[in-house]
A and B are shown apart, each in its own frame.
Chain A
Amino acid sequence: MTDLTMRIWRGDAGGGDFVEYGLDKVEGEVVLDVIHRIQATDAPDLACRWNCKAGKCGSCSAEINGRPRLMCMTRVDQLPEGPITVTPMKTFPIIRDLVTDVSFNFAMAERVPALLPPPMPADGYRMFQQDVERGQEFRKCIECFLCQDVCHVIRDHEGNKTNYAGPRFFIRYAELEMHPLDTNDRRDLVREEMGLGYCNITKCCTEVCPEHIKITDNAIIPLKERVVDAHYDPVAWLGRKIRRRAKRSAGDAAVQPAP
């Protein structure tokens, strides 16, 4: 007699289907616990990624009852009664069962121009809490890629993957642009090669973020404003042309004195 039914998608790049597993409910369990119980008994080869089991590493992303979530942070007793459906993230190619090929994200990471700070003073940089807090919000990101999974620009249009960084990397670009020490300028890149304009701020990414990062409001919209200011405001455009030479070289940039 079992009181929990799991419908888990199983297969590989060649295709697959749902397999049902019946288990007993255990108090306090999360979906990942149930997957582990199935691995230890009925299906030792059931593939899933996981590491920390504490919502900190972002490995166990999947779609639970159709919604992108971390399996380790989804309690079974908080899902509606009835079978629980678990499928792999749709936006990425299947490797096996619940494991997808997320290399798109690592390729995008390689294209991010690094932080370019001025030389460090002997006793370290001075930065102020209110100035680092904006970036700190984005650095909470655990790279679960659920925001990438839910984003329709790449979820529904495979071809966009070559020229669209996606929400995870828009918060990375925003973080660097807002970094108190950075002297690099990524606005042209974000507009021309990273597809910021494709985002039409439906906020799906913000809704699924397990770290509750306000991706759209605090990163994408301010980033869009910066790009727009740079390209369509003639005064800002001219100012930027003049400033740009100074920003290009870390060696030329002065260390900001502490107020």
Chain B
Amino acid sequence: MDSPLPRSRSFRRFGCLFLLILFPGMVSAKTTIHWWHAMGGVTGEYLEDIANGFNQSQSDYEIQPVFKGNYTETMTSAIAAFRAGKQPGLLQVFEVGTATMMYAKGAIRPVEKLMKDEGQPFDRSAFIPAVVSYYESDDGQLLSMPFNSSTPVLWYNQDAFDQAGVEQVPTTWKEVGEAAGKLVDSGMECGLSVGYQSWVLIENFSAWHNLPLGTLDNGYGGLGTQLTFNNNAVEGILGRLQEWTKDQRFVYGGRQGKSLPMFTNGKCGMWMNSSAYYGSIEDQAQFKFGQAMMPLDTKVASAPQNSIIGGATLWVLEGRPKEEYAGIARFLTYLSQPDVQKTWAERTGYVPITTAASALMKKQGFYQKNPGTDTAVRELSLNPPTANTRGLRFGNFVQIREVINTELEAVWAGKKTPGEAMDAAVEKGNKLLRRFEKAHKN
């Protein structure tokens, strides 16, 4: 009241603020795109570096990464958001969620279609075949953009090998058994352990020996797929491991990556799990370690085929404003550039997704300086993927893996024979497949 001037000025200020809130576009011409992801810790920071790199490379779009918890939490919250009409444009989904995403027609925009529609250059042959084949539709269209990819390898403790007199890194399951025996004899508490047992011992074991997991090309041929992994080869390897549990040559250490400390503490001399544990092992292990390709069961195949991928891809969700899609397409182009891929792969231990990036890493001597780090790429690109090894497309796969984990645990505890366990897993798994088929029929 005492002086009308400041008051009117403050009104004007308020008016400006009001306009700003109403039309944010008037101030910044940038389109913001939300990217929900599941990368915590250091990997999350590297992911943000990629987003920042893109944001600085142009001025039209801004990618905003949002950490949403682990893979399951990220996917569940995105689905809830979609049902409420508040989904992000870009979403990171783990590989077992592929079928769920793919059959959600109307919720997702296939990446290859997006790139074409938005006029972004896209060359499918530039990608490493086994990396992209997992995420293609049955007619070969790329559905989602591979982001962080890994594959199982055999990690070994070189110091323990030396001490136990294991001269060569095992390449077959027979040799793994012998090496494990020597390790135990030398006083170790355990020869071999595994993580992500369904992924490593069933899914990748089958691909490595070019065996199908299910009918209709592992589900790529349609919703009517049936599981068939209760075969002699799988049961043979499980029988071998069950036998080994009796004298500690094999010790089960829990689901996912729970058994990592058993390897890094020097309890187990060998560990089979994802190549992406490179960073953790390097950080925690007080010994010389190495990684080698998965062992071969010479009774089943004379040479390995190729391994299949794990990790996650980026899905583009429908229902966002039109201009966001142009930005997403440009971001995906940025993401696939060799130098971006190279930095990401070198920092995280994930596999580069293009052959150009892999070649660049080789040329600049990364693999030479860090021996063994190319194991994953070599496993994935050992041979062109076959119908058995391009990937897996089973609905309700999260629950099927749960069933497999449960049955495998019964094997490790000696409660079931491998045959009984795998028959039960296939029977229960097929029920889950039929449920998924029913939910997606119309």
Query: Do these two chains really belong together in a complex?
Result: no
Binding site for A on B (CB under 8 A): none
Binding site for B on A (CB under 8 A): none
